[in-house]
């Protein structure tokens, strides 16, 4: 596999899981009887994308494998539903609360309540902005700024540094949308002939991505677009449909760079309709539950664990497709 894997300066997961493996075996009571079933409350963003479906599957299957009593709640991309779910986990007295925050802000009060109740919190996939970092034990997820940088570098390679970019932004206020844009614009600033000429949120969904791309193609300067940067593959796949309905060849007339690395993106690359997908690994279940079990055992864990990811170009799609797990 010639995937260009870029290793983050992350905690070595082997070392970490090695450490946690030692910790987990220490979770048994003195008389060596298994301790009570671990009860974990998990609030998930929703079911908005292929990435999210794979992420949920990874979490649920890992919990089942470990015999964890998982209380799972789908927030349907609404922050108030996540806050409600976290409050109910506190009332149930779960051992650990984990969640993927739909947006960065607004969670401080309920996290204070969890801390007061003595229930540790682990962030999965996305981060929150809080004044007190002790409100959560660990955040495991991607480096979204780096994903944005990689996407912009791929745009520069595809266009020789001459790009008028239409941007499909993720969910407004979410960490991936904010940070992918930040990283993308940081690299764009190095190329005087690369600029974003239109930008709008498609909320990480395929349907909204199609709708916004239709609007982009009706704009007075639509003819200038030569690149689409989509914050996730689902919006890119919706945009591809919109382009084809408008008689535009996706991946040819307009180059497309997106993020996630879901199966649909590899199929689109194989068909020449997508040019690059920057991987964002949803299969967090095993690492997440290593951390949750360590936290439940009262052990120290790193405050930040960055997942390992790569970048895939069209030429790699056919070989990679059979290996994709999501």
Chain positions contacting ligand GZL, by CB under 6 A = 48-49, 51-52, 125-126, 141-142, 176, 204, 232, 234, 259-260, 280
Residue whose CB is less far from ligand GZL, 141 or 285: 141
Least CB distance to ligand GZL at residue 199 (A): 17
Q: Which is nearer to ligand GZL, 204 or 312 (CB)?
A: 204
| Segment holding 258, helix H or strand E | strand 255-260
**DSSP-assigned letters across all residues of 173-242:** T-HHHHHHHHHHHHHHTT-TTEEEEEEEE-TT-HHHHHHHHHHHHHSTTGGG--EEEESSHHHHHHHHHH
How much helix, strand and coil, in percent to the nearest 5, is found in the chain?
A: 45, 20, 35
**Shortest distance (Å) from residue 58 CB to ligand GZL:** 12
CB of 179 to ligand GZL, least distance (A): 10
Contact 287, 14 (CB under 8 A): no
Separation between Cα atoms, residue 306 and residue 272, nearest integer Å: 31
Q: Looking at beta carbons only, is 56 or 275 nearer to ligand GZL? A: 56
User: Measured from the CB atom, is 119 or 239 closer to ligand GZL?
Assistant: 239
For residues 39 and 47, give the distance between their C-alpha atoms in angstroms, rounded to a whole number.
23
User: Closest separation between CB of residue 166 and ligand GZL, Å?
Assistant: 18
Q: How far is the CB of 59 from ligand GZL (least distance, A)?
A: 13
- What is the smallest separation between the CB atom of 174 and ligand GZL, expressed in angstroms? 7
Rounded to whole angstroms, the Cα distance separating 229 from 212 reads 13
Which is nearer to ligand GZL, 113 or 146 (by Cβ)?
Answer: 146
Pairing of strands 138-141, 121-124: parallel
Answer whether 40's CB lies under 8 Å from 71's CB.
yes
Q: Which is nearer to ligand GZL, 90 or 123 (CB)?
A: 123
Strand order through the sheet with 309-313: 4-6, 309-313, 276-279, 255-260, 227-230, 163-169, 194-201
Q: How far is the CB of 158 from ligand GZL (least distance, A)?
A: 21
For ligand GZL, give the closer residue by CB, 95 or 234. Answer: 234
């Amino acid at each position: 596999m010639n995937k260009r894997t870029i290793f983050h300066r992350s905690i070595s997961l082997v070392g970490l899981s090695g450490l946690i493996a030692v910790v987990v075996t220490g979770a048994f009571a003195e008389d060596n009887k298994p301790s009570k079933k671990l009860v974990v409350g998990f609030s998930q963003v929703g079911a908005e994308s292929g990435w999210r479906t794979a992420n949920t599957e990874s979490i649920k299957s890992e919990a089942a494998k470990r015999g964890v009593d998982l209380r799972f709640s789908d927030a349907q991309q609404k922050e108030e539903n996540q806050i409600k779910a976290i409050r109910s986990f506190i009332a149930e007295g779960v051992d650990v609360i984990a969640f993927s925050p739909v947006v960065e802000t607004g969670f401080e009060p309920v996290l204070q309540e969890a801390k007061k109740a003595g229930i540790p919190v682990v962030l999965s996939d996305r981060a929150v902005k809080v004044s007190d970092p002790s409100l959560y034990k660990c955040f495991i997820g991607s480096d979204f700024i780096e994903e944005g940088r990689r996407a912009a570098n791929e745009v520069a390679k595809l266009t020789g540094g001459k790009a008028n970019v239409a941007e499909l932004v993720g969910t407004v206020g979410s960490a991936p949308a904010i940070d992918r844009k930040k990283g993308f614009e940081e690299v764009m600033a190095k190329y005087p002939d690369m600029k974003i000429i239109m930008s709008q949120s498609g909320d990480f969904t395929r349907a909204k991505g199609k709708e916004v791309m239709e609007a982009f193609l009706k704009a007075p300067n639509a003819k200038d677009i030569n690149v689409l940067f989509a914050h996730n593959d689902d919006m890119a796949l919706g945009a591809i449909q919109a382009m084809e309905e408008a008689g535009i060849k996706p991946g040819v007339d307009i180059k497309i760079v997106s993020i996630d690395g879901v199966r649909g993106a590899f199929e689109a690359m194989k068909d020449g309709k997508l040019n690059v997908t920057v991987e964002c690994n949803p299969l967090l279940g095993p690492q997440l539950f290593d951390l949750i079990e360590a936290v439940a055992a009262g052990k120290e864990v790193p405050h930040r664990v960055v997942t390992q990811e790569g970048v895939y170009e069209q030429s790699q799609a056919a070989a990679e497709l059979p290996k994709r797990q999501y």
